[in-house]
């Protein structure tokens, strides 16, 4: 029966209500209108870090990764997003280790990474450090030798040599899938899921499962696709894929400023204030299929990385980005991040700490909305402001690989003292509002308000 775990939870009026609702409403009826969905408060100023245990260390284990927790905390990381940690199918597996998203058992733990107790211990340690743990979840496709196929062939729509596709018209399968998601939250202690192919799963399933899961505490639900419909299904956040497309265009061509303005207008006009976005400039899939940052973004990597962190939403960096990873890591074979140094870590620490400290950089309605400051450069010089009360963050970047003379069409707000975030020198906003101003090749300015004045 769907949601039986809700009945087994320790007694509380809220849990009893959820359990009662699950049993009395039809199987495909949404519970969203009956139970209030709540986004975790810790998301507002959180910075995320994507973890692929397989390439993180020579051992490739949870224990080996756990040795980096304090370093990541010191760098300003708040949320760890793990690629799948579940057993991988043996049948027709890709490469020597298999595709991490070809899952054979949703409640098992991949022995490649150690023991489930190691993972549970790591989760506890992360929580002690004030960090949160999110797991990747692939709810639509499984390995062709998934354990459910042994007794429940009818739980699948199709099966082939490469994958099997689950049938969400089957109530028993949906109940088992929900129980698996409950297991990682209730028994292991994780704080949310990043769900792939979420659009291929019925919306009522997401509404039901988020309602069930959040009886005890708010969780972070991320849909790994940028569609606003997911917000109505109980997801807190979607991946900012359209933003990445614009960032890649900026990196390759030095253009795209107007596309960014239009995209941010779409966010403002098409979504609700509490709808959140996961911003990124690279991730595991992009690195594997499209190559390293230097091949996709090139010499504009730094200024666009800063952009992705300052925009409204939760920024995410990929494991290895702080080491200036310059190679593509294979999906299904062993390859290591070359941890020669953490050369980019100081930059991430500065920016992540800035997000922690500045109210204007919080995600969602608690932060300052993106406000474009247009120039006559045709999108080559990109400038914007985020502002909450007297707290202001101003960012300007020249995408051209040459000096550029331009004029602001929108007046840069004055009246509040500001300084250069990196040099701590006073910023002259009046100078920016002159008839013409100059930006060096791929130059950027990051000015913040002086909170002491």
User: Is residue 191 situated within a structural domain?
Assistant: yes
Which pair of structure tokens corresponds to residue 103?
Answer: 């899952």
User: Is residue 81 situated within a structural domain?
Assistant: yes
* Total domains, the chain: 2
Confidence of residue 289 (pLDDT cuts 50, 70, 90): very high
User: Is residue 11 situated within a structural domain?
Assistant: no
Are residue 439 and residue 294 in the same domain, yes or no?
Answer: no
Are residue 349 and residue 301 in the same domain, yes or no?
Answer: yes
231 vs 31, more confident: 231
Q: What is the mean pLDDT of residues 2-11?
A: 42
Are residue 287 and residue 410 in the same domain, yes or no?
Answer: no
CA atoms of 369 and 376, how far apart (whole Å): 22
Q: What is the per-residue pLDDT for 14?
A: 45
Are residue 386 and residue 351 in the same domain, yes or no?
Answer: no
Question: In CATH, what number is assigned to the domain containing residue 357?
Answer: 3.20.20.80
Task: Give the domain extent around 96.
Answer: 35-368
The per-residue pLDDT for range 336-388, each reduced to its tens digit, is 999 999 999 999 999 999 999 999 999 988 899 899 999 999 999 999 999 99
Read off the pTM.
0.92
Say whether pLDDT at 287 is over 80.
Answer: yes
CA atoms of 109 and 411, how far apart (whole Å): 56
The per-residue pLDDT for range 401-444, each reduced to its tens digit, is 889 898 999 998 888 899 999 999 998 788 888 878 888 888 99
Low-confidence winner among 25-29, 274-278, 333-337 (lowest mean pLDDT): 25-29
Q: What is the per-residue pLDDT for 26?
A: 37
Are residue 348 and residue 399 in the same domain, yes or no?
Answer: no
Say whether pLDDT at 265 is over 90.
Answer: yes
> Which of 353, 368, 383 is the endpoint of a domain?
368
Q: What is the per-residue pLDDT for 22?
A: 40
User: Is residue 443 situated within a structural domain?
Assistant: yes
Are residue 195 and residue 118 in the same domain, yes or no?
Answer: yes
Say whether pLDDT at 19 is over 70.
Answer: no
Q: What is the per-residue pLDDT for 62?
A: 98
Q: What is the per-residue pLDDT for 133?
A: 98
Are residue 254 and residue 272 in the same domain, yes or no?
Answer: yes
Which pair of structure tokens corresponds to residue 250?
Answer: 């900026």
Are residue 278 and residue 383 in the same domain, yes or no?
Answer: no
> Which of 347, 368, 389 is the endpoint of a domain?
368
Confidence of residue 21 (pLDDT cuts 50, 70, 90): very low
Q: What is the per-residue pLDDT for 441?
A: 85
- For tokens 């504009």, the residue is 300
Are residue 265 and residue 117 in the same domain, yes or no?
Answer: yes
Q: What is the mean pLDDT of residues 308-318?
A: 97
Q: What is the per-residue pLDDT for 18?
A: 43
Are residue 169 and residue 182 in the same domain, yes or no?
Answer: yes
Q: What is the per-residue pLDDT for 452?
A: 57
Say whether pLDDT at 395 is over 80.
Answer: yes
Question: In CATH, what number is assigned to the domain containing residue 379?
Answer: 2.60.40.1180
Low-confidence winner among 82-86, 119-123, 378-382 (lowest mean pLDDT): 378-382
Low-confidence winner among 48-57, 331-340, 425-434 (lowest mean pLDDT): 425-434
User: Is residue 21 situated within a structural domain?
Assistant: no
CA atoms of 88 and 97, how far apart (whole Å): 8
CA atoms of 317 and 320, how far apart (whole Å): 8
308 vs 29, more confident: 308
Q: What is the per-residue pLDDT for 436?
A: 83
Are residue 162 and residue 178 in the same domain, yes or no?
Answer: yes
Confidence of residue 36 (pLDDT cuts 50, 70, 90): low
The per-residue pLDDT for range 87-120, each reduced to its tens digit, is 999 999 999 999 999 999 999 999 999 999 999 9
User: Is residue 83 situated within a structural domain?
Assistant: yes
User: Is residue 22 situated within a structural domain?
Assistant: no
**Dihedral of alpha carbons 268, 272, 276, 282, sign:** negative
Q: What is the per-residue pLDDT for 3?
A: 44
Say whether pLDDT at 9 is over 70.
Answer: no
CA atoms of 130 and 124, how far apart (whole Å): 10
> Which of 307, 341, 368 is the endpoint of a domain?
368
The per-residue pLDDT for range 172-186, each reduced to its tens digit, is 999 999 999 999 999
Say if CB 40 and CB 220 are below 8 A apart. yes
Low-confidence winner among 27-36, 220-229, 325-334, 440-449 (lowest mean pLDDT): 27-36
User: Is residue 5 situated within a structural domain?
Assistant: no
Are residue 258 and residue 377 in the same domain, yes or no?
Answer: no
- Percent of the chain predicted with pLDDT > 90: 79
Q: What is the per-residue pLDDT for 142?
A: 97
Nearest to 314 by CA among 68, 77, 75: 77
| Burial of 162 (C-beta count, 10 Å sphere; 0-12/13-18/19+) | middle
């Amino acid at each position: 029966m769907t949601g039986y775990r809700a009945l087994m939870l320790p007694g509380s009026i809220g849990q009893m209500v959820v359990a009662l609702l699950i049993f009395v409403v039809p199987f495909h009826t949404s519970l969203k209108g009956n139970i209030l969905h709540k986004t975790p408060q810790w998301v507002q100023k959180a910075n995320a870090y994507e973890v692929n245990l397989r390439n993180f260390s020579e051992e490739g284990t949870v224990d080996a990764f756990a040795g980096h927790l304090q370093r990541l905390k010191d760098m300003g990381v708040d949320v760890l997003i793990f690629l799948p940690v579940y057993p991988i199918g043996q049948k027709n597996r890709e490469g020597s280790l298999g595709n991490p998203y070809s899952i054979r058992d949703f409640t098992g733990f991949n022995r490649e990474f150690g023991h489930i107790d190691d993972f549970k211990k790591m989760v506890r340690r992360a929580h002690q450090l004030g960090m949160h743990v999110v797991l990747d979840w692939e709810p639509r496709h499984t390995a062709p030798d998934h354990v459910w196929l042994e007794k429940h062939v009818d739980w699948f729509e199709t099966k082939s040599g490469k994958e099997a596709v689950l049938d969400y018209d089957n109530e028993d399968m949906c109940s088992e899938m929900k129980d698996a998601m409950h297991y990682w939250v209730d028994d292991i202690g994780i704080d949310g899921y990043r769900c792939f192919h979420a659009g291929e799963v019925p919306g009522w399933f997401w509404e039901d499962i988020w309602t069930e899961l959040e009886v005890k505490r708010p969780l972070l639900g991320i849909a790994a696709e940028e569609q606003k419909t997911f917000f109505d299904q109980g997801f807190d956040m979607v991946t900012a894929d359209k933003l990445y497309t614009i960032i890649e265009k900026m990196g390759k061509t030095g253009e795209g400023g107007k596309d960014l303005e239009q995209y941010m207008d779409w966010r403002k006009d098409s979504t609700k204030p509490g709808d959140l976005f996961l911003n990124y400039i690279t991730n595991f899939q992009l690195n594997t299929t499209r190559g390293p940052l230097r091949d996709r973004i090139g010499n504009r990597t730094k200024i666009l990385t800063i952009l992705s962190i300052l925009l409204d939403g939760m920024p995410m960096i990929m494991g290895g980005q702080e080491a200036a990873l310059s190679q593509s890591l294979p999906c299904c074979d062993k390859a290591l991040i070359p941890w020669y140094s953490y050369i980019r870590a100081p930059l991430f620490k500065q920016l992540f700490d800035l997000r922690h400290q500045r109210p204007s950089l919080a995600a969602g309605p608690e932060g300052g909305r993106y406000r474009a400051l247009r120039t006559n450069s045709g999108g080559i010089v990109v400038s914007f402001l985020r502002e909450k009360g007297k707290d202001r963050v101003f960012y300007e970047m020249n995408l051209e690989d040459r000096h550029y003379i331009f004029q602001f069409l929108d007046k840069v707000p004055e009246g509040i003292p500001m300084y250069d975030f990196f040099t701590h020198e006073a910023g002259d906003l009046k100078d920016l509002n002159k008839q013409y101003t100059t930006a060096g090749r791929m130059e950027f300015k990051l000015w913040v308000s002086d909170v002491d004045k």
